[in-house]
Structure formats: structure tokens, C-alpha cells
């Protein structure tokens, strides 16, 4: 009789009963009863490839945090960082669309709270997981610019990958000029030079988010297409982290990649690797809906707006009470 394929569809922090034993050393200690992984001494570097199997895809949900971070460092290498805006404007346009939607949601929120935003001497904005060129900041500051608030923005870039932060601040990234026309980003200048000037003033924070403890809270936190790089425990930590560092009356704006099945993910992965043959296969866990993310949020934030109609994505904006 043929051995059944592991399904591993459990979405909580529990280890599914069909988890292949060879994966146990790679699993986050928090999945085990006393919070430590008894198999960790046998852990090796996990590195997926184009032949990703379903059981590996579902393993990402529980994969040890350090393995996830190493995956991010491999994926967001200088070549990937430099080309990121192009990649997300040309091959993965849905990422530009998701960031555009997030900016529109933010614009609605700022418009409703305009007097409060106008009274702030500085608007502290955190882009959590910017990748090269900080596409999420690029779109979000369009909302500030439309209300004449751009010169008050104090942008912070938080990323676990040093090249992401350093190359973005030094302007070492390609800027697709057509993006300006397509999305009304005129403040950036057709060649991106004005945007590069703005982003050169950003505050660099090279850190895993768990280790970042800011002195001042933020008025706007942006988190776009970053949550799917985190395992389930870190997704929960990330929700608590953002809630803890946002000002009362401030906004947390999230958009993320969502797939309903392994087959759907594999279609995207193969297309991505074909367009970017130099790119390593990413470590990602996008089998997670907006409702599930929302369920990780605490009582001090409330949902202001959401979108479930985006391609491969969901988006939501929350306000801290
Ligand atoms: C797919 S990119 C998102 C880029 C951009 N925000 C967008 O909308 O396309 C994810 C980013 O999250 C960063 N990241 C992943 N895990 C992180 C962690 N634990 N702490 C901080 N940054 C992290 C990655 O290095 C990468 O720059």
C-alpha cells in the first residue's frame, strides 16, 4: 500500500501528527510542550529549492525563527534588493497593487483624522520590512503628500537584513520610472531622484523586530508583505510588537500575501524563479488569512478598514485606542 502524503494542514502552533520526523530538529521550540526543541542539536541549515514539496511548504509555518531569518538574508541579497521595485512593478504587479491599496486606506484614515495629524510636529512612520527601495514607504508617503504633510514625516526603516536598510538609504536600487505615472507618485520625480533624497534621510534600524525597543512610539506602522516571512509564533509576536509601539490614535496598516493551497503557492513560486533565475527559493508561509491575522491582534486595536478582493493578498488598517 502506498504511504499517504503528509498533509500538515494544522494552522495552530501545534505539530501535526503527520509531520515527518526529519523535520523535527528544524521546528521552533515554542511548538514543544516545555518551549524547547529536544531535537535541536540535530538541526542543519534549511534551504528550499524549486522542487519545494507540500510538507516543506507547511513546515515553514513552524520553522525555527533563525532559519526564517537566514532565509530572508538569502532571498534579500544585494541583487534581489537592487531589483526589488522593478520585480514588484513588472513580474509581481499585485504587490504594487497591494501597496497602492494600503496607501489609499491610509489616505482615508489621515483624511478623517486630519486635524490631529496636522497638529503633530513630526509624524513618525515605521516601515517594518521595507526590502530594497522601500516600496511601502514610497506609496504611503503619497498619502501624506496629498495632505501637505510629507515634510513632517520621520521615516524609520526596520529590517533584519542589513543590505535592505543600507542599500535603500544610500539609493542603491533601480527605480522604474513608469511607476510614477501609473500610480501618481509625481513627488518622487520621474527618475526617482526626489524619492531617493527623501529616503536617504530615513532612520536605519537593522534588527530582528523582536530586538527593537524604540524610545518613541510611531503614528503610522506599515507592514507590507512581511508577515508571510514569519512562522506562526512570530506572526503573533509581530501583532503584539506593533500594538506595543504604536501611539494611541495611531494606525497599523498591513497587507500580505495569501494562498489557499500548496498548489496555488507552487504556481507563484515557479513563475517567480523563472523570472528571477538568480533568486534562491524563499522561505515563506502565506497560508494564513486576514481573519487569522486579525485573531492575533489584542483588544487595544480596532479594525478601521479591510480589503479581501486584492490579487493574492489581503489588507487591513487598524487603529490603536
Ligand atoms: C517581501 S519583503 C516586503 C517588502 C515590501 N514591504 C513590500 O511591500 O513588498 C519582506 C521584508 O521583511 C524583512 N523581514 C523578514 N523577517 C524579518 C524580521 N524578523 N524582522 C525584521 N524584518 C524582517 C525581509 O528582510 C524583507 O525586507
Checking if the pLDDT of 35 tops 70, the result is: yes
C-beta of residue 25 within 8 angstroms of C-beta of residue 43: yes
Q: Which sequence spans correspond to the domains of the chain?
A: 80-320
For residue 126 and ligand 1, the question of a CB distance below 6 A is answered with no
pLDDT digits (tens, 9 = 90+) for 43-62: 999 999 999 999 999 999 99
Q: What is the pLDDT of residues 114-153, one digit of tens each?
A: 999 999 999 999 999 999 999 999 999 999 999 999 999 9
Is residue 251 very low, low, confident or very high in pLDDT (cuts 50, 70, 90)?
A: very high
pLDDT for res 10: 73
> What are the angstrom distances between the C-alpha of 194 and each of 23, 83, 162, 175, 188?
48, 19, 23, 11, 5
Q: Which runs of consecutive H residues, i.e. helices, occur in the chain?
A: 54-59, 65-75, 78-82, 84-89, 93-112, 114-119, 135-146, 162-169, 178-183, 193-200, 232-245, 262-275, 290-295
CA distance 1 to 18: 17
pLDDT at 4 over 90: no
The 10s digit of each residue's pLDDT in 14-32 is: 998 889 999 999 999 999 9
What CATH number belongs to 80-320?
3.40.50.150
Residue 319 has pLDDT above 70, yes or no: yes
69, 72, 221, best to mutate for ligand 1 pocket (most atoms within 8 Å of CB): 72
pTM of the model: 0.96
Q: Ligand 1 centroid vs 229 CA: distance in angstroms?
A: 7
Closest approach atom of ligand 1 to CA 164? 27
What 3-state DSSP class applies to 49? coil
pLDDT, mean of residues 196-207: 98
Amino acid at each position: 500500500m502506498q504511504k499517504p502524503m503528509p498533509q500538515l494542514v494544522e494552522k495552530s502552533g501545534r505539530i501535526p501528527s503527520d509531520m515527518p520526523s526529519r523535520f523535527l530538529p528544524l521546528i521552533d521550540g515554542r511548538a514543544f510542550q516545555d518551549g524547547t526543541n529536544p531535537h535541536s542539536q540535530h538541526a542543519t541549515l534549511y534551504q528550499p529549492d524549486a522542487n519545494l514539496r507540500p510538507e516543506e511548504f507547511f513546515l515553514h509555518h513552524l520553522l525555527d525563527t533563525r532559519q526564517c531569518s537566514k532565509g530572508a538574508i538569502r532571498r534579500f541579497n544585494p541583487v534581489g534588493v537592487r531589483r526589488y521595485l522593478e520585480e514588484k512593478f513588472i513580474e509581481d504587479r499585485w504587490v504594487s497593487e497591494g501597496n497602492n491599496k494600503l496607501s489609499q486606506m491610509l489616505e482615508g484614515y489621515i483624511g478623517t483624522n486630519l486635524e490631529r495629524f496636522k497638529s503633530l510636529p513630526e509624524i513618525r512612520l515605521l516601515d517594518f520590512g521595507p526590502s530594497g527601495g522601500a516600496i511601502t514607504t514610497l506609496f504611503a508617503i503619497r498619502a501624506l503628500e496629498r495632505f501637505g504633510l510629507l515634510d513632517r514625516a520621520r521615516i524609520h526603516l526596520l529590517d533584519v537584513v542589513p543590505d535592505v536598510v543600507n542599500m535603500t538609504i544610500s539609493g542603491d536600487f533601480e527605480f522604474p520610472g513608469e511607476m510614477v505615472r501609473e500610480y501618481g507618485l509625481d513627488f518622487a520625480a520621474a527618475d526617482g531622484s526626489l524619492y531617493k533624497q527623501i529616503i536617504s534621510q530615513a532612520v536605519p534600524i537593522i534588527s530582528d523586530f523582536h530586538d527593537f525597543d524604540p524610545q518613541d512610539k510611531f503614528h503610522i506602522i506599515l507592514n507590507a508583505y512581511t508577515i508571510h516571512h514569519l512562522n506562526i509564533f512570530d506572526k503573533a509576536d509581530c501583532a503584539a510588537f506593533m500594538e506595543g509601539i504604536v501611539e494611541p490614535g495611531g494606525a497599523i496598516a498591513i497587507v500580505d500575501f495569501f494562498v489557499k493551497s500548496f498548489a496555488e503557492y507552487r504556481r507563484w513560486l515557479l513563475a517567480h524563479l523563472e523570472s528571477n533565475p538568480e533568486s534562491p527559493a524563499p522561505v515563506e508561509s502565506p497560508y494564513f488569512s486576514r481573519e487569522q491575522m486579525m485573531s492575533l491582534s489584542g483588544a487595544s486595536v480596532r479594525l478601521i478598514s479591510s480589503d479581501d478582493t486584492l490579487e493574492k493578498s489581503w489588507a487591513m488598517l487598524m487603529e490603536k485606542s
